[in-house]
Structure 1
Amino acid sequence: MQRIQNGAPANLLRDVSWRKSRRSNPSGNCVEVAPLPGGEIAVRNSRYPEGPVLVYTRAEIAAFVGGAKDGDFDDLVR
Structure 2
Amino acid sequence: MKTRVLLPSAILLSSVFFSGCASPALVRVKPWERATLADYTMRSDRDPLHTAMAEHIFFSRETATGGRAIGGSGCGCN
> Which of the five TM-score ranges fits, normalised by the shorter chain?
under 0.3
TM-score, with structure 1 as normaliser: 0.21
- Structure with bigger helix share is 2
More relative contact order, 1 or 2 (CA 8 Å, 6+ apart): 1
